[in-house]
Amino acid sequence: MNKQFAHDVLEGLNSMPKKLSSQYFYDEKGDKLFQKIMNLDEYYLTRSEYEIIDSNKERMLKLFSGSEGPFNLIEFGAGDGYKTKVLLNHFLDKKAKFNYVPIDISRHVLDELSDSLKEELPNLSVKPMEGEYFEVLKKLKKSEARNVVLFLGSNIGNFSHDQASVFLEGLYKCLKKNDLVMIGFDLKKDPDAILSAYNDKEGVTRDFNLNLLHRINEELGGNFQVGNFRHCPTYDPLTGTTSSYLVSTTHQRVEIMDQAVEFDQWEAIHMEVSQKYDLNDIERLAYEAGFTIQSNFYDSKKYFVNSVWKK
Protein backbone atom coordinates (compact mmCIF):
# COMPACT_ATOMS: atom_id res chain seq x y z
CA MET A 1 0.00 0.00 0.00
CA ASN A 2 1.14 3.53 -0.79
CA LYS A 3 1.11 5.11 2.68
CA GLN A 4 1.46 8.66 1.33
CA PHE A 5 -1.51 8.11 -0.99
CA ALA A 6 -3.59 6.79 1.91
CA HIS A 7 -2.58 9.69 4.16
CA ASP A 8 -3.34 12.34 1.54
CA VAL A 9 -6.72 10.82 0.63
CA LEU A 10 -7.92 10.58 4.23
CA GLU A 11 -6.61 14.03 5.11
CA GLY A 12 -8.23 15.55 2.01
CA LEU A 13 -11.64 13.90 2.51
CA ASN A 14 -11.71 14.99 6.14
CA SER A 15 -10.94 18.60 5.21
CA MET A 16 -13.52 21.36 4.82
CA PRO A 17 -14.14 21.61 1.94
CA LYS A 18 -13.22 18.10 0.83
CA LYS A 19 -10.38 17.78 -1.68
CA LEU A 20 -8.24 15.19 -3.47
CA SER A 21 -4.86 15.83 -5.07
CA SER A 22 -4.70 15.72 -8.86
CA GLN A 23 -1.25 14.11 -8.65
CA TYR A 24 -3.06 10.83 -7.95
CA PHE A 25 -5.02 10.86 -11.22
CA TYR A 26 -2.20 9.03 -12.96
CA ASP A 27 -2.37 5.31 -12.38
CA GLU A 28 -2.24 2.98 -15.40
CA LYS A 29 -5.87 3.63 -16.33
CA GLY A 30 -5.55 7.34 -15.59
CA ASP A 31 -2.53 7.59 -17.91
CA LYS A 32 -4.52 6.03 -20.75
CA LEU A 33 -7.50 8.30 -20.14
CA PHE A 34 -5.29 11.38 -20.17
CA GLN A 35 -3.72 10.29 -23.44
CA LYS A 36 -7.27 10.06 -24.81
CA ILE A 37 -8.09 13.53 -23.44
CA MET A 38 -5.14 15.03 -25.30
CA ASN A 39 -6.59 13.78 -28.59
CA LEU A 40 -10.09 15.19 -28.03
CA ASP A 41 -11.35 17.94 -30.32
CA GLU A 42 -12.25 20.08 -27.31
CA TYR A 43 -8.84 19.74 -25.63
CA TYR A 44 -6.92 22.47 -27.45
CA LEU A 45 -3.99 22.72 -25.02
CA THR A 46 -1.74 19.96 -26.38
CA ARG A 47 -2.36 20.90 -30.03
CA SER A 48 -1.69 24.57 -29.33
CA GLU A 49 1.62 23.98 -27.60
CA TYR A 50 2.71 21.41 -30.18
CA GLU A 51 2.05 24.00 -32.91
CA ILE A 52 4.12 26.59 -31.05
CA ILE A 53 7.09 24.27 -30.62
CA ASP A 54 6.96 22.93 -34.17
CA SER A 55 6.67 26.42 -35.69
CA ASN A 56 9.41 27.99 -33.57
CA LYS A 57 11.96 25.22 -33.04
CA GLU A 58 14.69 27.05 -34.96
CA ARG A 59 14.16 30.30 -33.02
CA MET A 60 14.12 28.32 -29.79
CA LEU A 61 17.45 26.68 -30.64
CA LYS A 62 19.07 30.07 -31.27
CA LEU A 63 17.63 31.41 -28.03
CA PHE A 64 18.66 28.39 -25.97
CA SER A 65 22.21 28.06 -27.31
CA GLY A 66 22.93 31.78 -27.66
CA SER A 67 26.65 32.48 -27.36
CA GLU A 68 26.98 30.24 -24.33
CA GLY A 69 27.99 27.07 -26.20
CA PRO A 70 26.70 23.67 -25.00
CA PHE A 71 23.56 23.60 -22.89
CA ASN A 72 21.53 21.23 -20.72
CA LEU A 73 17.92 20.94 -21.87
CA ILE A 74 16.21 20.09 -18.58
CA GLU A 75 12.57 19.09 -18.47
CA PHE A 76 10.28 18.94 -15.45
CA GLY A 77 7.75 16.10 -15.74
CA ALA A 78 8.51 15.12 -19.33
CA GLY A 79 5.95 12.29 -19.52
CA ASP A 80 6.18 10.56 -22.90
CA GLY A 81 8.06 13.51 -24.44
CA TYR A 82 5.49 13.95 -27.22
CA LYS A 83 6.12 17.68 -27.72
CA THR A 84 9.73 17.75 -26.56
CA LYS A 85 10.75 15.22 -29.21
CA VAL A 86 10.05 17.90 -31.83
CA LEU A 87 12.82 20.00 -30.29
CA LEU A 88 15.14 17.04 -29.74
CA ASN A 89 14.86 15.94 -33.38
CA HIS A 90 15.49 19.46 -34.67
CA PHE A 91 18.41 20.12 -32.31
CA LEU A 92 20.07 16.87 -33.38
CA ASP A 93 19.52 17.69 -37.07
CA LYS A 94 21.23 21.03 -36.48
CA LYS A 95 24.09 19.29 -34.63
CA ALA A 96 23.48 21.36 -31.51
CA LYS A 97 25.68 20.54 -28.52
CA PHE A 98 23.34 19.70 -25.68
CA ASN A 99 22.31 17.09 -23.12
CA TYR A 100 18.68 16.21 -22.54
CA VAL A 101 17.95 15.91 -18.82
CA PRO A 102 14.39 14.77 -17.98
CA ILE A 103 13.55 15.01 -14.27
CA ASP A 104 10.77 13.06 -12.60
CA ILE A 105 10.05 11.55 -9.19
CA SER A 106 9.05 8.32 -10.94
CA ARG A 107 11.86 5.99 -12.04
CA HIS A 108 9.29 4.05 -14.09
CA VAL A 109 8.37 7.16 -16.11
CA LEU A 110 12.05 7.98 -16.71
CA ASP A 111 12.86 4.43 -17.80
CA GLU A 112 9.98 4.37 -20.30
CA LEU A 113 11.00 7.73 -21.76
CA SER A 114 14.68 6.73 -21.93
CA ASP A 115 13.83 3.48 -23.71
CA SER A 116 11.70 5.25 -26.31
CA LEU A 117 14.42 7.86 -26.92
CA LYS A 118 17.11 5.18 -27.37
CA GLU A 119 14.96 3.62 -30.06
CA GLU A 120 13.85 6.83 -31.80
CA LEU A 121 16.91 9.04 -31.28
CA PRO A 122 19.93 6.80 -30.69
CA ASN A 123 22.41 9.69 -31.04
CA LEU A 124 20.78 11.76 -28.31
CA SER A 125 22.68 12.33 -25.06
CA VAL A 126 20.06 11.53 -22.39
CA LYS A 127 20.79 11.92 -18.69
CA PRO A 128 17.56 11.16 -16.77
CA MET A 129 17.55 12.24 -13.13
CA GLU A 130 15.14 10.93 -10.51
CA GLY A 131 14.02 13.18 -7.69
CA GLU A 132 12.26 16.39 -6.71
CA TYR A 133 12.71 19.14 -9.31
CA PHE A 134 14.61 21.65 -7.21
CA GLU A 135 16.84 19.11 -5.48
CA VAL A 136 18.03 17.80 -8.86
CA LEU A 137 18.33 21.31 -10.29
CA LYS A 138 20.64 22.35 -7.43
CA LYS A 139 23.04 19.60 -8.52
CA LEU A 140 22.93 20.84 -12.11
CA LYS A 141 23.74 24.36 -10.95
CA LYS A 142 27.37 23.23 -10.72
CA SER A 143 27.46 22.51 -14.45
CA GLU A 144 29.42 24.97 -16.57
CA ALA A 145 26.89 24.57 -19.39
CA ARG A 146 23.87 26.82 -19.57
CA ASN A 147 20.76 25.24 -18.06
CA VAL A 148 17.53 25.62 -20.04
CA VAL A 149 14.50 24.41 -18.07
CA LEU A 150 11.29 23.33 -19.83
CA PHE A 151 8.06 23.40 -17.84
CA LEU A 152 5.50 22.62 -20.52
CA GLY A 153 1.87 21.56 -20.78
CA SER A 154 0.43 24.40 -18.70
CA ASN A 155 1.59 22.51 -15.60
CA ILE A 156 2.16 25.90 -13.97
CA GLY A 157 -1.65 26.19 -14.09
CA ASN A 158 -1.98 23.47 -11.46
CA PHE A 159 -0.80 26.03 -8.91
CA SER A 160 -2.76 28.93 -7.46
CA HIS A 161 -1.23 32.37 -8.08
CA ASP A 162 0.45 32.32 -4.65
CA GLN A 163 1.75 28.78 -5.14
CA ALA A 164 3.05 29.68 -8.60
CA SER A 165 4.93 32.66 -7.15
CA VAL A 166 6.58 30.50 -4.49
CA PHE A 167 7.47 27.85 -7.08
CA LEU A 168 9.02 30.37 -9.48
CA GLU A 169 11.01 32.08 -6.72
CA GLY A 170 12.38 28.67 -5.75
CA LEU A 171 13.22 27.94 -9.38
CA TYR A 172 15.08 31.24 -9.71
CA LYS A 173 17.29 30.39 -6.73
CA CYS A 174 18.27 27.05 -8.30
CA LEU A 175 19.54 28.61 -11.53
CA LYS A 176 22.78 30.34 -12.57
CA LYS A 177 23.04 33.76 -14.19
CA ASN A 178 21.96 33.58 -17.86
CA ASP A 179 20.12 30.27 -17.43
CA LEU A 180 16.72 30.13 -19.16
CA VAL A 181 13.25 28.81 -18.40
CA MET A 182 10.50 28.13 -20.94
CA ILE A 183 7.04 27.84 -19.37
CA GLY A 184 3.77 26.92 -21.08
CA PHE A 185 0.82 29.12 -20.06
CA ASP A 186 -2.78 28.55 -21.10
CA LEU A 187 -4.24 31.98 -21.88
CA LYS A 188 -7.62 33.44 -20.95
CA LYS A 189 -10.06 33.09 -23.83
CA ASP A 190 -13.72 32.37 -24.66
CA PRO A 191 -15.09 30.77 -21.46
CA ASP A 192 -17.04 28.24 -23.54
CA ALA A 193 -13.83 26.98 -25.16
CA ILE A 194 -12.19 26.59 -21.77
CA LEU A 195 -15.12 24.78 -20.17
CA SER A 196 -15.48 22.45 -23.14
CA ALA A 197 -11.86 21.37 -22.69
CA TYR A 198 -12.74 20.07 -19.21
CA ASN A 199 -16.24 18.81 -19.99
CA ASP A 200 -15.97 17.03 -23.33
CA LYS A 201 -18.96 15.49 -25.11
CA GLU A 202 -17.56 11.96 -24.82
CA GLY A 203 -17.21 12.23 -21.05
CA VAL A 204 -13.51 11.26 -21.05
CA THR A 205 -12.56 14.03 -18.61
CA ARG A 206 -15.44 12.95 -16.37
CA ASP A 207 -14.11 9.38 -16.40
CA PHE A 208 -10.58 10.67 -15.72
CA ASN A 209 -11.77 12.39 -12.54
CA LEU A 210 -14.01 9.51 -11.43
CA ASN A 211 -11.14 7.08 -11.96
CA LEU A 212 -9.51 8.42 -8.82
CA LEU A 213 -12.47 7.12 -6.81
CA HIS A 214 -12.04 3.72 -8.49
CA ARG A 215 -8.34 3.85 -7.56
CA ILE A 216 -9.19 4.55 -3.91
CA ASN A 217 -11.55 1.57 -3.94
CA GLU A 218 -8.94 -0.75 -5.45
CA GLU A 219 -5.83 0.37 -3.58
CA LEU A 220 -7.20 1.57 -0.24
CA GLY A 221 -10.20 -0.72 0.22
CA GLY A 222 -12.72 2.08 -0.28
CA ASN A 223 -16.37 1.49 -1.11
CA PHE A 224 -17.21 4.56 -3.19
CA GLN A 225 -20.40 4.14 -5.23
CA VAL A 226 -18.86 6.00 -8.15
CA GLY A 227 -22.22 6.42 -9.89
CA ASN A 228 -23.32 8.65 -7.00
CA PHE A 229 -20.88 11.39 -8.05
CA ARG A 230 -21.17 13.92 -10.87
CA HIS A 231 -18.28 15.64 -12.64
CA CYS A 232 -18.63 19.44 -12.44
CA PRO A 233 -16.05 21.86 -13.97
CA THR A 234 -16.27 25.63 -13.45
CA TYR A 235 -14.47 28.65 -14.93
CA ASP A 236 -14.19 32.14 -13.42
CA PRO A 237 -13.31 34.63 -16.20
CA LEU A 238 -12.31 37.27 -13.63
CA THR A 239 -9.62 35.23 -11.90
CA GLY A 240 -8.91 32.82 -14.77
CA THR A 241 -9.39 29.84 -12.46
CA THR A 242 -10.79 26.61 -13.85
CA SER A 243 -11.74 24.09 -11.15
CA SER A 244 -12.99 20.52 -11.36
CA TYR A 245 -15.24 18.99 -8.71
CA LEU A 246 -16.94 15.69 -8.05
CA VAL A 247 -20.35 16.36 -6.50
CA SER A 248 -22.21 13.83 -4.37
CA THR A 249 -25.74 13.46 -5.75
CA THR A 250 -27.04 11.89 -2.53
CA HIS A 251 -26.33 11.76 1.19
CA GLN A 252 -23.92 8.88 1.62
CA ARG A 253 -21.30 7.30 3.83
CA VAL A 254 -18.03 6.00 2.37
CA GLU A 255 -15.58 3.78 4.22
CA ILE A 256 -11.85 3.88 3.46
CA MET A 257 -9.40 1.79 5.50
CA ASP A 258 -11.94 1.40 8.31
CA GLN A 259 -12.55 5.15 8.44
CA ALA A 260 -15.96 6.58 7.57
CA VAL A 261 -16.42 9.73 5.49
CA GLU A 262 -19.86 11.37 5.37
CA PHE A 263 -21.13 13.23 2.30
CA ASP A 264 -24.12 15.55 2.32
CA GLN A 265 -26.23 15.64 -0.81
CA TRP A 266 -24.58 18.03 -3.34
CA GLU A 267 -21.38 18.24 -1.30
CA ALA A 268 -18.33 18.63 -3.55
CA ILE A 269 -14.81 17.24 -3.63
CA HIS A 270 -12.33 19.70 -5.14
CA MET A 271 -10.26 17.69 -7.63
CA GLU A 272 -8.11 20.03 -9.68
CA VAL A 273 -7.30 23.63 -10.53
CA SER A 274 -6.17 24.77 -13.97
CA GLN A 275 -5.21 28.44 -13.92
CA LYS A 276 -5.52 30.57 -17.06
CA TYR A 277 -3.41 33.68 -17.55
CA ASP A 278 -3.18 36.94 -19.44
CA LEU A 279 0.08 38.68 -20.35
CA ASN A 280 -0.10 41.00 -17.35
CA ASP A 281 -0.28 37.96 -15.06
CA ILE A 282 2.72 36.39 -16.78
CA GLU A 283 4.80 39.57 -16.67
CA ARG A 284 4.03 40.01 -12.97
CA LEU A 285 5.02 36.42 -12.15
CA ALA A 286 8.32 36.79 -14.03
CA TYR A 287 9.14 40.16 -12.49
CA GLU A 288 8.31 39.15 -8.92
CA ALA A 289 10.46 36.01 -9.17
CA GLY A 290 13.41 38.02 -10.56
CA PHE A 291 13.32 36.87 -14.21
CA THR A 292 13.32 38.97 -17.38
CA ILE A 293 11.12 37.85 -20.29
CA GLN A 294 13.18 37.11 -23.42
CA SER A 295 10.45 36.02 -25.84
CA ASN A 296 6.83 34.90 -26.07
CA PHE A 297 5.80 32.26 -28.62
CA TYR A 298 2.09 31.94 -29.54
CA ASP A 299 -0.05 29.50 -31.48
CA SER A 300 -2.09 30.82 -34.41
CA LYS A 301 -5.23 31.33 -32.30
CA LYS A 302 -3.31 32.88 -29.38
CA TYR A 303 -4.84 30.29 -27.09
CA PHE A 304 -1.48 29.43 -25.54
CA VAL A 305 1.95 30.95 -24.98
CA ASN A 306 5.40 29.53 -24.32
CA SER A 307 7.24 32.26 -22.44
CA VAL A 308 11.04 32.22 -22.21
CA TRP A 309 12.59 33.87 -19.14
CA LYS A 310 16.21 34.61 -18.28
CA LYS A 311 17.87 34.83 -14.90
User: Quick one: pLDDT at residue 1?
Assistant: 65
Start-to-end Cα distance in the chain: 42
Provide block-wise average pLDDT over 10 residues at a time, the chain (311 residues): 88 96 88 90 96 97 84 87 92 93 82 88 88 83 88 91 93 94 97 96 96 96 96 96 97 94 97 96 96 97 97 95
User: Quick one: pLDDT at residue 28?
Assistant: 84
Cα torsion angle, 170, 303, 160, 247, sign: negative
CA distance 307 to 298: 9
Q: Can you give the residue ranges of every domain in the chain? A: 3-42+192-275, 44-189+279-310
Assign residue 76 a region (left: φ > 0; alpha: ψ between -120 and 50; beta: otherwise).
Answer: beta
User: Quick one: pLDDT at residue 298?
Assistant: 98
CA distance 311 to 309: 7
In this predicted model, what pLDDT tens digit does every residue of 258-295 receive, in sequence order? Answer: 899 999 999 999 999 999 999 999 999 999 999 999 99
Q: DSSP 3-state assignment of 42? A: coil
User: Quick one: pLDDT at residue 212?
Assistant: 97
Residues contacting 87, CB < 8 A, separation 6+:
53, 57, 60, 61, 73
In this predicted model, what pLDDT tens digit does every residue of 207-255 receive, in sequence order? Answer: 999 999 999 999 999 999 999 999 999 999 999 999 999 999 999 999 9
CATH architecture of 44-189+279-310: 3-Layer(aba) Sandwich (3.40)
